[in-house]
Chain A
Amino acid sequence: TQLLEQSPQFLSIQEGENLTVYCNSSSVFSSLQWYRQEPGEGPVLLVTVVTGGEVKKLKRLTFQFGDARKDSSLHITAAQTGDTGLYLCAGLQGAQKLVFGQGTRLTINP
């Protein structure tokens, strides 16, 4: 099973600051997804990256897929308290199976 390592696992910063979450693997993934999960709810898909080197932006969130398709990052600019949540990366293994990272629990303090 391919493994995904997320870092940091916990991050607490002040509103307005920038942050980056990393998702790394020694294996190549055909695609990688980022999710956000609120307590007691299912994960909500934020973005899917497919091409090595791809960069996607979603308002203040910037997602990048590594050139070798082994790693990805999520950068949030000017964090807001509403960004608080659990962020999960997941790589596609084979045709259908998603392998999830451990998650990054992000807390944005007012």
Chain B
Amino acid sequence: GAVVSQHPSRVICKSGTSVKIECRSLDFQATTMFWYRQFPKKSLMLMATSNEGSKATYEQGVEKDKFLINHASLTLSTLTVTSAHPEDSSFYICSASSGSSSYEQYFGPGTRLTVT
């Protein structure tokens, strides 16, 4: 149980375009989803926390107009990188929590974004 998927696993886009990444909880309802960014050989940095049906809470330094997060259902959250630039290239990972136990987060497999 507690499986989280991400799609796509890899995406290459041109500078200036937008790209959407999906995060789905497959076998549980995720009241809260989290989006992380990981640079090569570095740890995970939390970008934002989203609760179903409400606006996401962004961490300091993360541009909310650039990284659009939607959590429209209890099984799906999306991250849209708008007007992507090469410096946005990174490994984006989502996690999901059912809320039944506050410290249990289940991570997706990640999405490798390359902006050319």
Contact = CB atoms under 8 A, between A and B. Distances in A.
Interface string B61-82: 0000000000000000000000
A27 to B, nearest CB: 16
B11 to A, nearest CB: 14
Given A31-B103, A42-B110, A92-B103, A105 B41 contact: yes
A100 B44 contact: yes
Contacts of A30: 103
Contact of B43 (A33, A96, A103): A103
B13 interface: no
A1 to B, nearest CB: 9
Interface residues of B, number: 25
A33 B97 CA distance: 14
B19 interface: no
Contacts of B114: none
A38 B89 CA distance: 19
Chain A interface bracket (under 10, 10 to 19, 20 to 34, 35 or more): 20 to 34
A97 B102 CA distance: 9
A102 interface: yes
Contacts of A35: 107
Given A40-B110, A44-B107, A102 B42 contact: yes
Interface in A7-63: 30-31, 33, 35, 40-45, 48, 50
Given A48-B104, A95-B102, 11 more contacts: A35-B107, A42-B93, A42-B110, A90-B44, A96-B32, A96-B97, A97-B46, A97-B49, A98-B95, A100-B43, A100-B44
23 contacts: A30-B103, A31-B103, A35-B107, A40-B112, A42-B93, A42-B95, A42-B107, A42-B110, A43-B93, A44-B107, A45-B106, A48-B104, A88-B44, A90-B44, A96-B97, A97-B46, A97-B49, A98-B34, A100-B45, A101-B43, A102-B42, A102-B43, A103-B43
5 nearest CB pairs, A to B: A42-B107, A31-B103, A100-B43, A103-B43, A100-B44
